[in-house]
Amino acid sequence: MNLVILGSTGSIGESTLEVVRNSKGKIKVLGLSAYSNYDKLQRQSHEFKSKYTILAFDKDGQEKLIDLVTKPEVDTVLVAIVGFAALRPALAALRAGKTVALANKEALVTCGELLMQEQKQGGGKIIPVDSEHNALFQALQGHDISDVRKLWITGSGGPFRGHSRKQLARVSVKQALNHPKWKMGPKITVDSATLMNKGLEFIEARWIFDFKEKNIEVIIHPQSIIHGIVEFIDGAMLAQMSVPDMKAAISYALYYPHRQTDAVRPLNLIEIKKLEFEPVDVKTFPCLSLAQLALKMGGYSPTVLNAANEVAVGAFLNRKIRFLDIPELISKTMETAPRQSLKLDMIFEIDAWARKRTSENISSL
C-alpha cells in the first residue's frame, strides 16, 4: 500500500511512521510533508526512502501537497497537518478517490458537511484517526446504520474531573497540562481539561457518521479504555476498547478493513479491574455546550468556536488569562460572529476575524 503522510514530523506523523516501521514492508511511504521542520523531515525521508518530500512552508506549499495526494500511485493519505492547511489537500484526495485517514480536527469541525459531500461524490473514503471516532467506526462495521440509536463518545474527564468552578478558578497551566491518561501536545491537553476536545469531537461525529445532535452523547469514563460505544435500537451496545495509544487508531485506519498484528499491546482487563462511567458536569465545564450551540447555529459558528478556542488556549498557556476565561472568551466571540451560510473561500477570512476579535477581547479583560 502506498502511503502519503501530510504532517509527518508531528506527534501523529511520528506514530504513523512507527506503524509503518512495524508493517514489514506492507506499507510503503510514497510521500512526506512537514510545515517547517526541515531536519526531521529529511531524516524521515531518508529512513523511509520517500519518493516525494515536501516542505510546505513555501507560498506554493498547498499546491504541491494537492499535486502529491492526487498522484495515481497514491492509495492512502494520512492527514496529520494541524489547522486549516489540511482542508484543501484532504478535499483533493477525496475528489481523486483516495482513502483519507483523517487526524486533523479543523477540517471536520469547520467544513465537515463539505468533506462528507466530497467523499460521496469523489469515491474516496474518510477513515477517522481520532481514537473516539475510530472506535465508533470499528464498532459500526457490519451493522446497519438504521439499527443504530445513538453514538457515545467517551472522555477521561481530564485532570480537573470532579473539580468545582471555585477550584477551577485557581488552576495553573502546569496542572492543566498534567493529563491523567493521554500524552498529547499542550493545546489539545488544555482542550481535554476544558472538555472542548469533547465538544470538537461531538461536531466531528455529527458529520463523519451523519448523525443528528440528539443521537450523539458524551460520557465520562476516567480509565480511557472504552473509546466509543454504539447503542442499537434493540437495547444492545458495542463498545470498542484498547490501551490509550494513538497507534491503535492509526494502524486500524491504514490496515482497514483488516488489522495489524500487535499494533498496540493487548488489554489486560483483570489488571485494569474496573471501567467507570459518570455524567459530564456541563455547568462546570461549559465548552461542550458551546460546541453543541455552534453546531446548532451552523454556518461559520463552528469555525469561530474553533478559532476563538485556539486563541484563548494560547493566551492561557502564555499565562495571560485564567482557565475559566477560556469559555467566556469563546462565548463572547461567538455572540458577535457573522450569521451567514458557509462558503469555503470565506473560511480563512472568518477564522482570521475570530482570532483577531478574541485577541481584542483578551486585551480588554
Q: Which of 300, 317, 314 is nearest to 358 (CA)?
A: 314
Q: How far is the CB of 273 from its own copies (least distance, A)?
A: 6
Whose Cβ is closer to its own copies: residue 269's or residue 365's? 269
Closest contact distance (angstroms) between CB of 23 and its own copies is: 12
State how far the Cα of 305 lies from the Cα of 331, in Å rounded to an integer: 8
Rounded to 5 degrees, what are φ and ψ at 301?
Answer: -55, -45
What's the closest the beta carbon of residue 61 comes to its own copies, in angstroms? 34
Quote the CA–CA distance of 365 and 325 in Å, as a whole number: 9
CB of 300 to its own copies, least distance (A): 34
CB nearer its own copies, residue 269 or residue 352: 269
- Applying CB under 8 A, the residues found at the interface with its own copies are 138-139, 141-144, 147, 149, 219, 226, 229, 231-243, 248, 251-252, 255, 257-267, 269-270, 272-279
Q: In the complex with its own copies, which residue's Cβ is closer, 174 or 258?
A: 258
Q: CA–CA separation, 94 vs 116, rounded Å?
A: 9
- Residue 211, exposed/middle/buried by CB under 10 A (0-12, 13-18, 19+)? middle
285 alpha-carbon distance from chain centroid: 19
Smallest gap from Cβ 158 to its own copies, in A, equals 18
Is 38 or 277 the residue whose CB approaches its own copies more closely?
277
Tell the residue number behind the cell numbers 512526506, with chain if given. Answer: 32
CA distance 121 to 125: 10
Nearer to its own copies, 19 or 79 (CB): 19
Cβ distance to its own copies smaller for residue 11 or 256: 256
**Minimum CB distance to its own copies smaller for 44 or for 134:** 134
Residue 138 CB, shortest distance to its own copies, in Å, is 7
Beta bridge partners of 154: 219
Residue pair 291/200 in contact (Cβ under 8 Å)? The answer is yes
Q: How far is the CB of 150 from its own copies (least distance, A)?
A: 8
For the CB of residue 179, give the shortest distance to its own copies in the complex, in Å: 21
DSSP code at position 278: B
Residues 178/227, Cβ–Cβ less than 8 Å: no
Contact between 63 and 88 under an 8 Å Cβ cutoff? The reply is: no
Instruction: Please give the Cα distance from 120 to 137 (Å, whole number).
Output: 17
- Give the type of residue at 35: Y
Q: Nearer to its own copies by C-beta: 169 or 272?
A: 272
CA distance 243 to 111: 30
